[in-house]
Amino acid sequence: MEEGRARSHTVTTTTSSYSDTFTTTASFSYDRNFLATAPGLLLLAEISLCFYGSAFVLYLIAAVVDATSITKEILDNHNYNSWTSSAFFAFLVTVCYAVSTYFSFRSWRIQS
């Protein structure tokens, strides 16, 4: 190649009509036949198990925070009964979610 002489470049490009019409769609559908199968039942059990387990943890945190917020300064206040009853019912709901988590786990183990 001679010095001082510019090189010529050839660039070839191609296009596709397929990429021009690219679209994505997502939809959720209810498939009763899938839910009647073993994988469908396991999926439902795992969803109720996850729901009850996470609700149990969140309610336990809320119940502990609610119970520890009752201090001696509130004893003279008329809201003391409200605070103590809210703590009691928060722990009651926590126990209910713990029991539901246990039974959901047992059901999930039996199906798998």
HEC sequence for the chain: CCCCCCCCCCCCCCCCHHHHCCCCCCCCCCCHHHHCCHHHHHHHHHHHHHHHHHHHHHHHHHHHHHHHCCCHHHCCCCCHHHHHHHHHHHHHHHHHHHHHHHHHHHHHHHHC
pLDDT reported for residue 11:
75
pLDDT in tens, 32-68: 888 788 888 778 778 878 888 899 999 999 999 988 8
Q: Residues 6 or more apart from 90 whose CB is under 8 A from it? A: 59, 62, 63, 66, 67
pLDDT reported for residue 31:
79
pLDDT reported for residue 104:
85
pLDDT reported for residue 94:
93
Q: What is the Cα–Cα distance from 23 to 15, expressed in whole angstroms?
A: 17
pLDDT reported for residue 61:
94
Is the distance from CB of 74 to CB of 83 less than 8 angstroms?
yes
pLDDT reported for residue 5:
67
pLDDT in tens, 80-94: 778 888 889 999 999
pLDDT reported for residue 23:
62
Is 65 or 71 the better-scoring residue by pLDDT? 65
